[in-house]
Amino acid sequence: MTNTPETRNPSLHRVSTEYGDVILNERTGAYWHLNESASRVVAVLDSGGSVEDAVRDLVDVYEIDEVRARQDIEVISASLQKLGAL
């Protein structure tokens, strides 16, 4: 969620806080808190990683099966697309 030309909505920024990551819309002041797994997914995708990379990361870190990881990523991705963040 860095402010780069690839960002779909340049007013959105991902910010790390002591309470986790948030996505801030600097234009409206709205913000969304990301839980730990969502923060990991966004970090992978934001750095150019693929959904498969994000799946492997969740499987490795949380020791969940690939089906569950993929379902979680689909939910996260759909939410971020609604925001214009992906």
The pLDDT assigned to 8 comes to 61
Write the pLDDT tens digit of every residue in 26-65. Answer: 888 888 899 999 999 988 988 899 999 999 999 999 999 9
| pLDDT for position 56 | 97
- pLDDT confidence tier of residue 17, bands split at 50, 70 and 90: confident
Per the DSSP assignment, residues forming a β-bridge with 23 are 14, 32
pTM: 0.77
CA–CA separation, 56 and 54 (whole Å): 5
Phi, psi angles (nearest 5°) of residue 21: -85, 150
pLDDT over 70, % of the chain:
90
Please state, in angstroms and rounded to a whole number, the distance separating the CA atoms of residues 36 and 13.
17
Residue 66 pLDDT greater than 80, yes or no: yes
d(CA 30, CA 60): 32
Cα separations (Å) of 63 from 10, 33, 55, 86?
34, 23, 11, 26
